[in-house]
Structure 1
Amino acid sequence: MKKIVYGLFFGDSITYGEYDGVFGGWVDILKRYALQKFHEGNGDELILFNLGIGGENTEGLLKRMPHELSARNSVDGNLVFISYGANDLAVKEGKQVVEPEQFKNNIQTAVQLARQFSNDIYLVSILPISQTIDGVMVSSGKLRTNEEVGVYNQIIKNIAADNALGYIDFHTAFIEDKEILLSADGVHPNEKGYGMMAEIAIPIIEKYL
């Protein structure tokens, strides 16, 4: 009997795939890849759910996560991807949206919630931002810095290490060529950036196909 495994991708607009009018973002590329493999008759069926919401931070995640997990719970197993931080670390009206210590607590709580449904949990790094908006308040009223990206990524990395979770390091992959992998807003990837993210993530989902 073939198994049906669910993959749940929690995140913000970068998970959702904003600004990618060609491929729909990295998660949608993975969805199509998994479906293609299934139709080729290879292994188990992996159904991926893009649960990214634009503008969301870890406070919003914790409110909806228990409901989303219970609504999409496969008896054959689940994978959970948690991809947050870009909105948490932003400064708005002179104050960080979610401060580092609270961010750490929120990610740890999210991991505990995910553990009730899955042994396969992956934390995803925050992408670097473009030099053009580093420390600059943008039209949304948010200000981000690469220094804070580093601080929050270290929190994510430490939680992954302490809990023996997967860690997907998109940040390192982007850092050298970020100016050509990010869209004009300096935060979201462009089609090329999203394509690179999918390439990095495909070997991870391959293990479940």
Structure 2
Amino acid sequence: MQKRKIYYLVASFLLVIVIGAVIVFAGSDQKATVTNAPTEIVPSETETPDDSEENPALSEEETDTSSEIKDAFRRLLKDTLGLFIKEDLHITAVGDSLTQGVGDATENGGYVGILKQTFEETDDHVKIDNFGKRGNRTDQLLKRLDDPVISASIKNADVVLITIGANDIMKVTKDHFTDLDYDDYSAAMPSYEERMKDIFEKIDTLNPDAEVYLIGFYNPFEESFPEIEDQLGTIVDEYNDIGKQVAKEKDQHYIETADLFHNQTATLLADDYFHPNEVGYGKVAERVLESIKPVIQEEDE
């Protein structure tokens, strides 16, 4: 037990450092993209230049990143072009910074923005509302679902995408920082599970016909701090398992993402070492599109 407690004290110290980095990141050049009004992305009238050709000073890393993003778009476009998307499809995305797109240096809205751009490129008439908000926990998302604008969007949605839960883990860490142990996380799980159930139930009340997808989160520290990977990984897995089970009980869907980042965090995380970068979001967008395919296609006549 003493060894475990030492591990978690180290983990708590690490997480507090990350929290500070995220706060600094929030006040830097990256602008928040959250609004309380549904918006549709308007395709840009100007083409994005190939930076690697126009700017020879670009670093090799930036060029590689640009290439990976383009490859992700090509794969998404290839998948989407083969689909017959339902007419006037409406997708509502709610949740935390992973929905908002924090960490995406292109400021295009993370995985949600990538999906929007993909549908625009294929001329599919898909409306996507993004209500991601940095720092949201399950209790805060529950309250936000009462917002008239958000609830109206959900009522009209065919698909609801959710990212939530990582900040609930962070809250336990901060609340028990001076004497942190696994039992603190374990004790918080039952109430976390109840709030997850409430979220699904509230969405079902607003729109019983919507297909709801909970997107799981990942362990951002597994490569940077392998000595505490097992401990942090266990916590992440158990919280993800709660969300997966709740989604199953509510006859809804869960989308795994932890495997996408496993042994890849060095290349898929942003400069804050916590949120995905644009390449990481590209992988999430691919996984989400693959998961929602069955419900966004027109049924065979």
Give the TM-score band, short-chain normalised.
0.7 to 0.9
Q: Give the distance between the partners of 1:189 and 1:107, measured in 2 at CA.
A: 23
Match of 1:48 in 2: 128
SS of the residue corresponding to residue 29 of structure 1 reads: helix
Percent of aligned positions that are identical: 28
Which is richer in strand?
A: 1
Name which of structure 1's ranges 179-188 and 127-136 shifts more when overlaid on structure 2.
Answer: 127-136
Q: CA deviation at 1:63?
A: 0.5
Q: 1:165 to 1:135 in 2, by over 3 A?
A: farther
Matching residue of 2:235: 148
**Who is 1:8 aligned against?**
92
Work out which of the two has the higher radius of gyration on C-alpha atoms and give 1 or 2: 2
Is the aligned partner of 1:167 residue 2:254?
yes
CA distance in structure 2 between the partners assigned to 1:177 and 1:155 by the alignment: 24
TM-score (norm 1): 0.81
Residue of structure 2 in register with 1:141 after alignment: none
Q: Would the aligned equivalents of 1:57 and 1:88 in 2 still touch at CA under 8 Å?
A: yes
Q: What are the ranges of 5 or more consecutive residues in structure 2 without an aligned counterpart?
A: 1-85, 178-183
Q: Which has the higher helix share?
A: 2
Report the equivalent of 1:106: 195
Following the alignment from structure 1 to structure 2, what is the Cα–Cα distance between the partners of residues 188 and 134? 18
Return 81-90 or 125-134, whichever deviates more. Answer: 125-134
Partners of 2:116 and 2:239 lie apart in 1 by 28
Contact 2:93 2:129 in 1 (8 A): yes
Partner of 2:174: 92
Matched, 1:59 2:143: no
Structure 2 distance, partners of 1:171, 1:160, is: 17
Report if the CA contact (8 A) 2:90-2:126 is conserved.
Answer: yes
Amino acid at match of 2:174: K
Q: Which residue pairs with 1:36 in the alignment?
A: 121
Counterparts of residues 170-185 of structure 1 (less than 5 Å): 170-185=257-272
**Equivalent residues in 2 for 1:103-142, closer than 5 Å:** 103-116=192-205, 117=207, 118-131=209-222, 132=224
Q: Once superposed, what is the RMSD of the aligned Cα atoms?
A: 2.6
* Alignment CA distance shift 1:48-1:204 (3 Å): farther
> Cα distance, 1:128 vs. partner?
1.5
CA distance in 1, matches of 2:155, 2:198: 22
2:153 equivalent among 72, 87, 95: 72
Task: Give distance in 2, aligned partners of 1:5 and 1:175.
Answer: 33
Per the normalisation by structure 2, the TM-score is: 0.58
CA distance in 2, matches of 1:20, 1:170: 17
Cα contact 1:129–1:145 (8 A) shared by 2: no
- Give the 3-state SS of the residue equivalent to 2:145 in structure 1: helix
Unaligned runs of 5+ in 1: 137-143
Counterparts of 1:61 and 1:121 in 2: how far apart (Å)?
A: 15
Counterpart residue type for residue 114 of structure 2: I
Per-residue deviation at 1:8?
A: 1.1
Structure 2 matches for 1:181-200, cutoff 5 A?
Answer: 181-200=268-287
SS of the aligned residue for 2:266 comes to helix
Shift of residue 69, structure 1, vs aligned partner: 4.1
Give 2:19's aligned residue.
none
